Structure 1
Amino acid sequence: MKLQHQFIALKKISFLLIFFFTCGIFAQETYENSISFSKSDSNLEWGPCPHFMPEGCYIAVLHGNPAEKNADIFFKVPANSFIPAHTHNSAERMVLISGELVVTYEGEQSQTLKEGTYAYGPAGKPHSAKCGDSPCVLFIAFEEPIDVMPVEED
């Protein structure tokens, strides 16, 4: 009987060791470093916007892969730029980092975003925007892969 208790205790210890070892391996595989960026960070790699966006428009990927879910970007446009009507297959969560941006979603009143303003845009809903008298930088978190499609005006 004593041998049976020792065997059961050894089995429990072995299971716990395997469990903790496995958790440790998985934790190491999914571990990632924290990051932090400002709009003027010299480490940002700014790329051009799609062709229908205003001249001087740039995008910088902050986190994630734009071709996959959950990517974050900075979107930058010069002062007095008009961003034509467009849609995304993803909802977007936004915070205006600098400038003032008037955003208009189809069928809704325009909203004026000021520095620090949070906004949410539903997937597939056409919208346009106008940047004010100073350059605008917008943080955007996409839930789905990043895309942008122009809306043809009637």
Structure 2
Amino acid sequence: MRILLIISMLFSFTATAFAEDLIERMTAEKMQSFRADEVNWQPEAILPKGAESVILLGDPTKAGVFIAWLKFPPNYPIPAHTHPYTEVITVLKGQLGNGMGETFDKENGEVLNVGDSFVLPAGHAHYVWTSEEETIVELIATGPWDITYINPEDDPRN
């Protein structure tokens, strides 16, 4: 029994070390400052038309941590969806509504203001919306980043 326990412990440590090697660590080559009116915003293809993004650090298409800004127009909804990994969202400008569940329902959500954040666990269905003004959020997540819409017809890639 003791041998089985030792083998299990060794396997656990080895598996953890191997998993850590697969995840790219967040690194930077130089100090940089970012200003919303100076970054190169690009259309965000995996979100409904109107969203823009800029990657500040990392690569959302690869394994590892990345940081991005997302910009949404006024009165902008993102239908119910899930993500494969945990996300942290912080409102930098405007307001962002956030609700949990597979059905878009502003009445069952909350509105976050500048400086407010939320953590979204992997695989949890949620939806978001903006108010009457442009909204910018910071997204910190693990790649590869993706989105799965609860209703496939909501997916702009289809």
1:127 maps to 2:126: yes
Distance 1:62 1:31, change over 3 A: closer
The one of 49, 52, 56 equivalent to 1:58 is 52
Deviates more, 1:68-77 or 1:144-153: 144-153
Q: What is aligned with 1:16?
A: none
The number of equivalent residue pairs is 120
Going from structure 1 to structure 2, the CA distance change for 1:97 and 1:152 (only over 3 Å counts) comes to same
Match of 2:116 in 1: 117
Residues 82-101 of structure 1: CA deviation (Å, up to 9, x unaligned)? 11111111110111011111
Q: Distance in 2 between matches of 1:62 and 1:31?
A: 10
Q: Distance in 1 between matches of 2:75 and 2:60?
A: 27
Q: For the Cα contact (< 8 Å) 1:64–1:71, is it kept in 2? A: yes
60-69 or 143-152, which moves further after superposition? 143-152
In 2: Cα distance, 1:36 partner to 1:148 partner: 28
Counterpart amino acid of residue 76 in structure 1: K
Contact 1:91/1:144 (<8 A) preserved: no
Counterpart of 1:103 in structure 2 is 98
Q: Which runs of 5+ in 1 are unaligned?
A: 1-29
Larger radius of gyration: 1
Rounded to whole Å, the distance in 1 between the matches of 2:41 and 2:93 is 16
TM-score under structure 1 length normalisation: 0.70
CA distance in 1, matches of 2:117, 2:145: 19
Partner of 1:46: 41
Distance 1:55 1:31, change over 3 A: closer
Structure 2: tracts of 5 or more residues without a match = 1-26, 103-107, 153-158
Q: Residue 143 of structure 1: SS of its match in structure 2? A: strand
Q: Is the 8 A contact 1:45 1:61 kept in 2?
A: no
1:104 Cα deviation after fit: 0.5
1:82 match:
77
Q: CA RMSD in A?
A: 1.9
